Protein backbone atom coordinates (compact mmCIF):
# COMPACT_ATOMS: atom_id res chain seq x y z
CA UNK A 1 0.00 0.00 0.00
CA UNK A 2 1.25 3.57 -0.59
CA UNK A 3 2.55 5.31 2.51
CA UNK A 4 0.36 8.24 3.57
CA UNK A 5 2.52 11.34 4.07
CA UNK A 6 0.00 14.13 3.51
CA UNK A 7 0.41 17.12 5.80
CA UNK A 8 -2.55 19.21 7.00
CA UNK A 9 -2.79 22.97 6.89
CA UNK A 10 -1.91 24.03 10.46
CA UNK A 11 0.87 21.49 10.52
CA UNK A 12 2.33 22.80 7.29
CA UNK A 13 2.15 26.40 8.50
CA UNK A 14 4.11 25.53 11.64
CA UNK A 15 6.69 23.55 9.67
CA UNK A 16 7.09 26.35 7.13
CA UNK A 17 7.65 28.91 9.89
CA UNK A 18 10.34 26.80 11.57
CA UNK A 19 11.99 25.97 8.26
CA UNK A 20 12.07 29.65 7.34
CA UNK A 21 13.50 31.02 10.60
CA UNK A 22 15.12 28.09 12.42
CA UNK A 23 18.56 26.57 11.92
CA UNK A 24 18.39 23.36 9.91
CA UNK A 25 20.30 21.21 12.38
CA UNK A 26 17.56 18.58 12.82
CA UNK A 27 15.44 16.46 10.48
CA UNK A 28 12.17 16.10 12.40
CA UNK A 29 9.40 13.68 11.58
CA UNK A 30 6.67 15.79 9.92
CA UNK A 31 4.30 16.14 12.86
CA UNK A 32 3.81 19.32 14.92
CA UNK A 33 3.12 18.60 18.58
CA UNK A 34 1.09 20.95 20.72
CA UNK A 35 0.34 19.21 24.04
CA UNK A 36 1.10 16.08 26.03
CA UNK A 37 -0.20 14.08 28.96
CA UNK A 38 1.27 10.86 30.27
CA UNK A 39 2.14 8.59 27.34
CA UNK A 40 0.17 10.69 24.85
CA UNK A 41 0.93 13.75 22.73
CA UNK A 42 -1.44 15.72 20.49
CA UNK A 43 -0.60 17.58 17.31
CA UNK A 44 -1.89 21.00 16.27
CA UNK A 45 -4.74 19.32 14.39
CA UNK A 46 -5.90 17.56 17.57
CA UNK A 47 -4.77 14.05 16.61
CA UNK A 48 -3.52 11.91 19.51
CA UNK A 49 -0.39 9.76 19.37
CA UNK A 50 1.49 7.41 21.62
CA UNK A 51 4.93 8.90 22.24
CA UNK A 52 7.56 6.20 21.75
CA UNK A 53 10.57 8.50 21.85
CA UNK A 54 9.98 10.28 25.19
CA UNK A 55 12.22 13.18 24.14
CA UNK A 56 15.16 10.77 23.97
CA UNK A 57 14.18 9.30 27.37
CA UNK A 58 13.77 12.66 29.12
CA UNK A 59 10.08 12.19 29.99
CA UNK A 60 10.29 8.84 31.77
CA UNK A 61 7.69 10.10 34.24
CA UNK A 62 5.29 10.94 31.40
CA UNK A 63 4.38 14.24 29.81
CA UNK A 64 3.27 16.95 32.24
CA UNK A 65 3.07 14.71 35.28
CA UNK A 66 0.63 16.51 37.62
CA UNK A 67 3.05 16.37 40.55
CA UNK A 68 5.78 17.98 38.47
CA UNK A 69 3.42 20.62 37.10
CA UNK A 70 2.35 21.49 40.65
CA UNK A 71 5.93 21.73 41.92
CA UNK A 72 6.97 23.84 38.94
CA UNK A 73 4.10 26.27 39.41
CA UNK A 74 4.77 26.62 43.13
CA UNK A 75 8.51 27.11 42.74
CA UNK A 76 8.05 29.54 39.83
CA UNK A 77 5.97 31.75 42.09
CA UNK A 78 8.57 31.57 44.86
CA UNK A 79 12.05 31.75 43.28
CA UNK A 80 13.60 30.37 40.10
CA UNK A 81 17.25 31.45 40.07
CA UNK A 82 19.87 32.69 42.52
CA UNK A 83 23.14 31.67 40.82
CA UNK A 84 25.74 29.97 42.99
CA UNK A 85 26.87 33.34 44.35
CA UNK A 86 24.51 32.55 47.25
CA UNK A 87 23.13 29.45 48.93
CA UNK A 88 19.52 28.63 48.13
CA UNK A 89 16.99 26.75 50.21
CA UNK A 90 16.58 23.80 47.83
CA UNK A 91 20.02 22.81 46.52
CA UNK A 92 21.20 21.09 49.70
CA UNK A 93 18.08 18.94 49.86
CA UNK A 94 18.47 18.10 46.16
CA UNK A 95 22.13 17.12 46.59
CA UNK A 96 21.31 14.90 49.57
CA UNK A 97 18.42 13.27 47.69
CA UNK A 98 20.51 12.42 44.63
CA UNK A 99 23.55 11.26 46.61
CA UNK A 100 21.43 9.06 48.87
CA UNK A 101 19.50 7.55 45.99
CA UNK A 102 22.55 6.67 43.89
CA UNK A 103 25.08 6.00 46.65
CA UNK A 104 27.70 8.73 46.23
CA UNK A 105 29.21 11.33 48.55
CA UNK A 106 28.77 14.41 46.39
CA UNK A 107 26.90 15.85 43.44
CA UNK A 108 27.86 18.70 41.12
CA UNK A 109 24.76 20.27 39.52
CA UNK A 110 24.67 21.31 35.87
CA UNK A 111 21.92 21.78 33.28
CA UNK A 112 22.35 19.71 30.12
CA UNK A 113 23.78 16.28 29.51
CA UNK A 114 26.64 17.63 27.42
CA UNK A 115 27.57 20.05 30.23
CA UNK A 116 27.64 17.18 32.69
CA UNK A 117 29.87 15.09 30.43
CA UNK A 118 32.24 18.04 30.03
CA UNK A 119 32.25 18.38 33.82
CA UNK A 120 33.13 14.72 34.26
CA UNK A 121 36.00 15.02 31.77
CA UNK A 122 37.38 18.09 33.56
CA UNK A 123 37.10 16.34 36.89
CA UNK A 124 38.83 13.20 35.59
CA UNK A 125 41.72 15.16 34.13
CA UNK A 126 42.24 17.17 37.31
CA UNK A 127 42.05 13.98 39.38
CA UNK A 128 44.63 12.43 37.07
CA UNK A 129 47.07 15.27 37.65
CA UNK A 130 46.49 15.77 41.38
CA UNK A 131 45.81 12.21 42.58
CA UNK A 132 47.37 9.85 40.04
CA UNK A 133 50.40 11.95 39.21
CA UNK A 134 49.95 12.17 35.45
CA UNK A 135 52.35 14.76 33.95
CA UNK A 136 50.75 18.13 33.21
CA UNK A 137 48.90 18.23 29.90
CA UNK A 138 49.22 14.47 29.28
CA UNK A 139 45.96 13.08 30.71
CA UNK A 140 44.01 10.82 28.35
CA UNK A 141 40.41 9.61 28.38
CA UNK A 142 39.37 6.34 26.71
CA UNK A 143 36.07 6.37 24.81
CA UNK A 144 34.29 3.93 22.49
CA UNK A 145 33.48 3.79 18.80
CA UNK A 146 29.86 4.71 18.16
CA UNK A 147 29.66 6.84 21.30
CA UNK A 148 27.25 9.71 21.76
CA UNK A 149 27.90 12.01 24.71
CA UNK A 150 26.72 15.35 23.26
CA UNK A 151 27.71 17.87 20.62
CA UNK A 152 30.09 20.37 22.22
CA UNK A 153 33.47 20.76 20.52
CA UNK A 154 35.27 18.66 23.14
CA UNK A 155 32.68 15.91 22.93
CA UNK A 156 32.59 15.74 19.13
CA UNK A 157 36.37 15.53 19.30
CA UNK A 158 35.94 11.98 20.60
CA UNK A 159 33.05 11.08 18.29
CA UNK A 160 33.29 8.62 15.41
CA UNK A 161 30.16 10.00 13.72
CA UNK A 162 31.06 11.90 10.51
CA UNK A 163 28.01 14.16 10.86
CA UNK A 164 29.10 15.20 14.34
CA UNK A 165 32.72 15.83 13.39
CA UNK A 166 32.65 17.03 9.79
CA UNK A 167 33.83 20.61 9.40
CA UNK A 168 34.27 21.36 13.10
CA UNK A 169 38.03 20.89 13.60
CA UNK A 170 40.55 21.43 15.01
CA UNK A 171 39.57 19.02 17.73
CA UNK A 172 40.38 18.73 21.41
CA UNK A 173 43.23 16.24 22.00
CA UNK A 174 43.52 13.70 24.79
CA UNK A 175 41.12 10.94 23.74
CA UNK A 176 41.68 7.36 22.64
CA UNK A 177 38.88 5.58 20.79
CA UNK A 178 38.52 1.81 21.19
CA UNK A 179 35.86 -0.68 20.01
CA UNK A 180 32.75 -0.93 22.20
CA UNK A 181 32.07 -4.17 24.06
CA UNK A 182 35.72 -5.24 23.72
CA UNK A 183 37.48 -5.95 27.03
CA UNK A 184 40.86 -6.89 25.47
CA UNK A 185 40.91 -3.54 23.63
CA UNK A 186 40.15 -1.73 26.89
CA UNK A 187 42.86 -3.60 28.76
CA UNK A 188 45.43 -2.68 26.10
CA UNK A 189 44.42 0.99 26.26
CA UNK A 190 44.64 0.95 30.06
CA UNK A 191 48.33 0.07 29.86
CA UNK A 192 49.04 3.74 29.12
CA UNK A 193 49.95 5.26 32.52
CA UNK A 194 48.56 8.63 31.42
CA UNK A 195 44.99 7.35 31.13
CA UNK A 196 42.81 9.00 33.76
CA UNK A 197 39.34 7.73 32.82
CA UNK A 198 37.19 5.44 30.70
CA UNK A 199 33.94 7.14 29.61
CA UNK A 200 31.25 4.76 28.37
CA UNK A 201 27.51 4.33 27.88
CA UNK A 202 26.11 1.13 29.45
CA UNK A 203 23.96 0.84 26.30
CA UNK A 204 24.78 2.87 23.21
CA UNK A 205 21.42 4.55 22.59
CA UNK A 206 22.14 6.75 19.59
CA UNK A 207 24.06 3.95 17.88
CA UNK A 208 20.79 2.04 17.77
CA UNK A 209 20.28 0.71 21.30
CA UNK A 210 23.38 -1.46 21.08
CA UNK A 211 23.44 -3.70 24.17
CA UNK A 212 26.86 -5.09 25.12
CA UNK A 213 27.55 -8.52 26.58
CA UNK A 214 26.14 -8.95 30.06
CA UNK A 215 29.56 -9.04 31.71
CA UNK A 216 31.05 -6.14 29.74
CA UNK A 217 30.36 -3.33 32.20
CA UNK A 218 31.34 -5.27 35.37
CA UNK A 219 34.57 -6.44 33.72
CA UNK A 220 35.29 -2.93 32.46
CA UNK A 221 34.80 -1.50 35.96
CA UNK A 222 37.15 -4.13 37.40
CA UNK A 223 39.78 -3.45 34.74
CA UNK A 224 39.69 0.29 35.45
CA UNK A 225 39.95 -0.22 39.22
CA UNK A 226 42.96 -2.49 38.73
CA UNK A 227 44.77 0.26 36.77
CA UNK A 228 43.72 3.20 39.00
CA UNK A 229 41.59 4.68 36.22
CA UNK A 230 38.21 6.32 36.80
CA UNK A 231 35.21 4.52 35.32
CA UNK A 232 32.70 7.15 34.16
CA UNK A 233 29.19 5.87 33.38
CA UNK A 234 27.18 8.09 31.04
CA UNK A 235 23.68 7.25 32.29
CA UNK A 236 22.02 10.24 30.63
CA UNK A 237 19.74 8.08 28.49
CA UNK A 238 19.92 4.74 30.30
CA UNK A 239 19.55 5.86 33.92
CA UNK A 240 16.58 6.71 36.14
CA UNK A 241 14.57 3.52 35.51
CA UNK A 242 14.71 3.52 31.71
CA UNK A 243 16.40 0.11 31.58
CA UNK A 244 14.54 -1.39 34.53
CA UNK A 245 16.76 -0.14 37.34
CA UNK A 246 18.04 3.15 38.70
CA UNK A 247 21.38 2.81 36.90
CA UNK A 248 21.91 0.55 33.92
CA UNK A 249 25.58 0.09 34.78
CA UNK A 250 25.10 -1.50 38.19
CA UNK A 251 22.36 -3.44 40.05
CA UNK A 252 20.36 -1.38 42.54
CA UNK A 253 21.53 -3.65 45.37
CA UNK A 254 25.26 -3.19 44.65
CA UNK A 255 26.87 -0.75 47.08
CA UNK A 256 30.47 -1.97 47.00
CA UNK A 257 32.55 0.92 45.56
CA UNK A 258 34.90 -1.64 43.99
CA UNK A 259 32.05 -2.81 41.74
CA UNK A 260 30.44 0.55 40.98
CA UNK A 261 31.31 3.40 38.61
CA UNK A 262 33.61 6.03 40.08
CA UNK A 263 31.62 8.77 38.35
CA UNK A 264 28.00 8.81 37.13
CA UNK A 265 26.55 11.36 34.73
CA UNK A 266 22.78 11.98 34.85
CA UNK A 267 20.44 14.29 32.92
CA UNK A 268 17.24 14.03 30.82
CA UNK A 269 14.71 12.28 33.12
CA UNK A 270 16.36 13.81 36.19
CA UNK A 271 13.72 16.55 35.88
CA UNK A 272 11.01 14.52 34.18
CA UNK A 273 11.41 16.59 31.03
CA UNK A 274 10.22 19.77 32.73
CA UNK A 275 13.50 21.70 32.84
CA UNK A 276 17.16 21.18 31.88
CA UNK A 277 18.79 19.50 34.89
CA UNK A 278 21.94 17.37 34.97
CA UNK A 279 24.31 16.11 37.62
CA UNK A 280 27.71 14.50 38.08
CA UNK A 281 28.06 12.11 41.01
CA UNK A 282 31.29 10.94 42.65
CA UNK A 283 32.81 10.22 46.05
CA UNK A 284 34.93 12.71 47.99
CA UNK A 285 38.29 11.46 46.72
CA UNK A 286 37.30 12.38 43.16
CA UNK A 287 34.85 15.27 43.52
CA UNK A 288 37.04 17.24 45.91
CA UNK A 289 39.50 18.09 43.13
CA UNK A 290 37.05 20.90 42.36
CA UNK A 291 37.58 24.04 44.43
CA UNK A 292 35.90 27.46 44.21
CA UNK A 293 36.54 29.02 40.83
CA UNK A 294 37.53 25.81 39.03
CA UNK A 295 34.07 25.01 37.66
CA UNK A 296 30.58 26.46 37.70
CA UNK A 297 27.31 27.33 35.99
CA UNK A 298 24.92 30.24 36.44
CA UNK A 299 21.87 27.98 36.23
CA UNK A 300 23.33 24.79 37.69
CA UNK A 301 21.67 23.99 41.02
CA UNK A 302 18.95 26.61 40.64
CA UNK A 303 15.92 26.24 42.94
CA UNK A 304 13.52 25.46 40.10
CA UNK A 305 15.57 22.63 38.65
CA UNK A 306 16.49 21.29 42.08
CA UNK A 307 12.89 21.15 43.28
CA UNK A 308 11.77 19.43 40.07
CA UNK A 309 14.54 16.85 40.31
CA UNK A 310 13.60 15.96 43.88
CA UNK A 311 10.00 15.37 42.82
CA UNK A 312 10.94 13.58 39.60
CA UNK A 313 13.01 11.03 41.52
CA UNK A 314 10.23 10.60 44.07
CA UNK A 315 7.77 9.78 41.27
CA UNK A 316 10.08 7.08 39.93
CA UNK A 317 10.17 5.52 43.40
CA UNK A 318 6.50 5.97 44.30
CA UNK A 319 5.20 4.60 40.98
CA UNK A 320 7.78 1.79 40.74
CA UNK A 321 8.85 2.84 37.27
CA UNK A 322 11.88 0.55 37.47
CA UNK A 323 9.61 -2.46 37.93
CA UNK A 324 7.22 -1.29 35.23
CA UNK A 325 10.03 -0.78 32.73
CA UNK A 326 11.50 -4.22 33.44
CA UNK A 327 8.18 -6.06 33.22
CA UNK A 328 6.74 -4.31 30.19
CA UNK A 329 10.08 -4.25 28.41
CA UNK A 330 10.16 -8.04 28.44
CA UNK A 331 6.62 -8.14 27.05
CA UNK A 332 7.51 -5.66 24.32
CA UNK A 333 10.59 -7.54 23.15
CA UNK A 334 8.65 -10.80 23.13
CA UNK A 335 5.99 -9.24 20.90
CA UNK A 336 8.58 -7.71 18.58
CA UNK A 337 10.36 -11.07 18.31
CA UNK A 338 7.19 -12.46 16.74
CA UNK A 339 7.58 -9.88 13.98
CA UNK A 340 11.24 -10.85 13.55
CA UNK A 341 10.17 -14.48 13.22
CA UNK A 342 7.44 -13.62 10.69
CA UNK A 343 8.98 -11.03 8.38
CA UNK A 344 12.46 -11.67 6.91
CA UNK A 345 13.14 -7.94 6.53
CA UNK A 346 12.57 -7.36 10.26
CA UNK A 347 16.02 -8.46 11.31
CA UNK A 348 16.38 -8.03 15.06
CA UNK A 349 14.91 -6.67 18.27
CA UNK A 350 17.19 -5.66 21.13
CA UNK A 351 17.08 -3.61 24.29
CA UNK A 352 16.67 -3.57 28.03
CA UNK A 353 13.74 -2.34 30.05
CA UNK A 354 11.77 0.13 27.94
CA UNK A 355 14.75 1.18 25.80
CA UNK A 356 14.45 -0.99 22.71
CA UNK A 357 15.12 -1.01 18.99
CA UNK A 358 13.87 -2.82 15.92
CA UNK A 359 16.39 -3.34 13.11
CA UNK A 360 14.89 -3.54 9.63
CA UNK A 361 16.34 -4.24 6.22
CA UNK A 362 15.68 -1.47 3.67
CA UNK A 363 13.80 -2.64 0.59
CA UNK A 364 12.03 -1.41 -2.50
CA UNK A 365 8.33 -2.18 -2.85
CA UNK A 366 6.77 -3.67 -5.98
CA UNK A 367 5.62 -0.20 -7.01
CA UNK A 368 9.18 1.12 -6.71
CA UNK A 369 8.60 3.07 -3.49
CA UNK A 370 11.26 2.87 -0.75
CA UNK A 371 10.74 0.74 2.32
CA UNK A 372 13.10 2.16 4.92
CA UNK A 373 12.88 2.88 8.64
CA UNK A 374 11.90 6.46 7.85
CA UNK A 375 8.92 5.37 5.75
CA UNK A 376 7.87 2.89 8.43
CA UNK A 377 7.96 5.68 11.02
CA UNK A 378 5.71 7.78 8.78
CA UNK A 379 3.26 4.88 8.67
CA UNK A 380 3.46 4.46 12.44
CA UNK A 381 2.69 8.17 12.74
CA UNK A 382 -0.36 7.81 10.53
CA UNK A 383 -1.50 4.90 12.71
CA UNK A 384 -1.08 6.88 15.94
CA UNK A 385 2.41 6.14 17.28
CA UNK A 386 5.51 8.34 17.11
CA UNK A 387 8.99 6.84 16.83
CA UNK A 388 12.10 7.82 14.93
CA UNK A 389 14.97 6.04 13.18
CA UNK A 390 18.45 6.21 14.61
CA UNK A 391 21.56 5.31 12.64
CA UNK A 392 19.88 4.34 9.40
CA UNK A 393 17.38 1.53 9.51
CA UNK A 394 17.05 1.10 13.26
CA UNK A 395 13.89 2.33 14.99
CA UNK A 396 14.17 3.18 18.68
CA UNK A 397 11.11 2.50 20.86
CA UNK A 398 11.21 4.24 24.25
CA UNK A 399 7.79 5.18 25.67
CA UNK A 400 7.29 7.03 28.95
CA UNK A 401 7.73 4.58 31.80
CA UNK A 402 4.23 5.31 33.13
CA UNK A 403 2.75 3.32 30.25
CA UNK A 404 0.29 0.63 31.36
CA UNK A 405 0.14 -2.97 30.18
CA UNK A 406 -3.09 -2.27 28.28
CA UNK A 407 -1.55 0.77 26.58
CA UNK A 408 1.56 -1.22 25.69
CA UNK A 409 -0.57 -3.92 24.10
CA UNK A 410 -2.38 -1.29 22.03
CA UNK A 411 1.00 0.03 20.88
CA UNK A 412 2.17 -3.48 20.01
CA UNK A 413 -0.96 -3.82 17.88
CA UNK A 414 -0.20 -0.51 16.12
CA UNK A 415 3.38 -1.57 15.39
CA UNK A 416 2.31 -5.03 14.21
CA UNK A 417 -0.40 -3.60 11.96
CA UNK A 418 2.02 -1.06 10.52
CA UNK A 419 4.65 -3.73 9.81
CA UNK A 420 2.06 -5.86 8.01
CA UNK A 421 0.91 -2.86 5.96
CA UNK A 422 4.54 -2.15 5.19
CA UNK A 423 5.34 -5.69 3.99
**Catalytic choice (126, 207, 268, 388):** 268
215 is catalytic: no
- 80, with CB counted inside 10 A (0-12, 13-18, 19+), is middle
**Catalytic choice (43, 51, 181, 234):** 234
Alpha carbons 225 and 257: distance in angstroms, whole number: 10
**Catalytic choice (148, 175, 231, 290):** 148
Residues 51-65, buried b or exposed e (16+ Cβ, 10 A)? Answer: bbbbbbbbbbbbbbb
268 is catalytic: yes
Closest by alpha carbon to 398, among 273, 275, 293?
273
Contacts of 298 (CB under 8 A, 6+ apart): 81, 83, 84
Q: Count other C-beta atoms under 10 Å from residue 132's C-beta.
A: 17
Please, what is the Cα angle at 261 between 188 and 294, to 5 degrees? 95
Contacts of 277 (CB under 8 A, 6+ apart): 109, 111, 267, 270, 271, 305, 306, 308, 309
Instruction: Indicate the SS3 state at residue 32.
Output: coil
- Residues identified as active-site: 148, 234, 268
Amino acid sequence: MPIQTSIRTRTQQAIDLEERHGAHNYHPLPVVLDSGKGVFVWDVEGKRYYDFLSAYSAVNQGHCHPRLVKVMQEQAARMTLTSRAFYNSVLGEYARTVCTRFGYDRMLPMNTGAEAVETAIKMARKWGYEKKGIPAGKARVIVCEGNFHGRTITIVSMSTDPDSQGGFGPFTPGFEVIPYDDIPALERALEDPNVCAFLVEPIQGEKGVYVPAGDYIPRAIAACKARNVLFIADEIQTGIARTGRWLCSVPDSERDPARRPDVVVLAKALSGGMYPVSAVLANDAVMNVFTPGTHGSTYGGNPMGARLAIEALAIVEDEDLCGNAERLGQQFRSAMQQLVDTFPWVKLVRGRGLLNALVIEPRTAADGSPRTAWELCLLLRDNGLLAKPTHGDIIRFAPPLVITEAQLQECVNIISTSVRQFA
